[in-house]
Structure 1
Amino acid sequence: MRGENGVRLRPPRNTLDERAVAWWRAQWLLTTAVPTVVLAVLGAFLEPARAWLLAAAGAVAAMGLVCTAFFPRWWFRVHRWEVTDEAVYVRTGFFWQEWRIAPMSRIQTVDTVRGPLEQAFRLATVTVTTASAKGAVTIAGLDHRLAADLAERLTLITRGTPGDAT
């Protein structure tokens, strides 16, 4: 099957780096820890609301632990990416799958980003910006060296690809 730009639609072949699972788990834990600690501290100091604040802290912590255990592994199974000479393919999501294809002739910029947590896990995110109203195509959870090589490769391919990238 071919899309409107003549690019063949098919599942991308590559998985993310296995360390992305731990990275996502760390993100969940940090995201859950902040409201849990705030609720627990408030519960410790506010006598009239102590019971429900501590119960809420426990509920937030429990949900965070369940999400930390479940979602990162699931995301790892469904997130895929691939770069060919014609396009960048990215598939994310499970229930609501999103397939993004950026033809090389439409690519405007290629960026790599490494936040503090990504640096700790030696990971990076490659962002491919096009003129699409849908926004950039991102591949998060790549080994930082692979991300740098991929950005360089995309730059070389797009430089040699005819088109106006608009």
Structure 2
Amino acid sequence: MRQPPGNTIAQEAMKAWRITAAIYAVILWLATVAGVVVSYLYDFPWSIVIAAAALSAISTYLFVFLLPKFRWRRWRYEVFEQEIYIQYGILIVTRTLVPMMRVQHVDTKQGPILKRFRLATVTISTAATTHEIPALLEEDASELRDRLSALARVDEDDV
């Protein structure tokens, strides 16, 4: 079996993922509070509200504190002359080889949370699908985008 890819994504990715998860957790907690209000006003069973609060607490812990660290540890990538090797996943580890000759275009994208930490995601498009390498430092993402674009052009010229 092939060795895992050698390059990691930026460590600030964990912070960005935690903030994103916290935003979703706040929405989940607001729904839980709404359940408390509904339960109080309309004699709704409290057992359901308690179960929702427990589920909210467990989800918050998992998605805000625990999973970002595991996601960061698994995300790896490596660029070779003929292919891009990507590995990600926590319980189910996915290893993807993207042939350079299939690459149609390469983009970088950056939302407000990634921008706050000066991170960007590299998006690699083929005819069949799109692959992402998330949360690279802005400079690294730009260099990787340019390198992949150049390698894809060279491979195209060889055909």
TM over 0.5: yes
CA shift in 2, pair 1:105/1:119, >3 Å: same
Q: TM-score of the superposition, structure 2-length normalised?
A: 0.86
Would you say 1:139 and 2:142 are equivalent positions? no
Which residue of 1 is the match for residue 14 of structure 2? Answer: 21
Structure 2 unaligned segments of length 5 or more: list them.
Answer: none
Cα displacement (A) at 1:163:
6.4
Which of 88, 94, 101 is 1:98 aligned to? 94
User: Which structure: greater helix fraction?
Assistant: 2
Q: Deviations 1:11-65 (Å, cap 9, x if unpaired)?
A: 2101110001111111221112102112203423542237346424522431133
Instruction: Check conservation: 1:105, 1:164, Cα contact below 8 A.
Output: no
Matching residue of 2:105: 109
1:148 alignment partner, one of 142, 153, 158: 142
- Tell me the distance in 1 between the aligned counterparts of 2:6 and 2:75: 10
Q: Mind listing any 5+ residue stretches in structure 1 that lack a counterpart?
A: 2-8
* Cα RMSD, aligned residues only: 2.2
The counterpart of 2:50, out of the listed 48, 55, 66, is 55
2:87 equivalent to 1:87: no
Give the Cα–Cα distance (whole angstroms) in 2 for the partners of residues 118 and 17 of structure 1: 11
Structure 2 CA distance for partners of 1:56 and 1:145, relative to 1, 3 Å: farther
1:52–1:19: structure 2 CA closer, same or farther, 3 Å change rule? same
Residues in 2 aligned to 1:107 and 1:119: alpha-carbon distance in whole angstroms: 26
* Amino acid aligned to 1:96: I
4+ long deviations beyond 6 Å = none
% identical aligned pairs = 29
Give the alignment partner of residue 129 of structure 1, picking from 125, 128, 131: 125
Q: What's the offset of the Cα at 1:121?
A: 2.0
TM-score by length of 1: 0.82
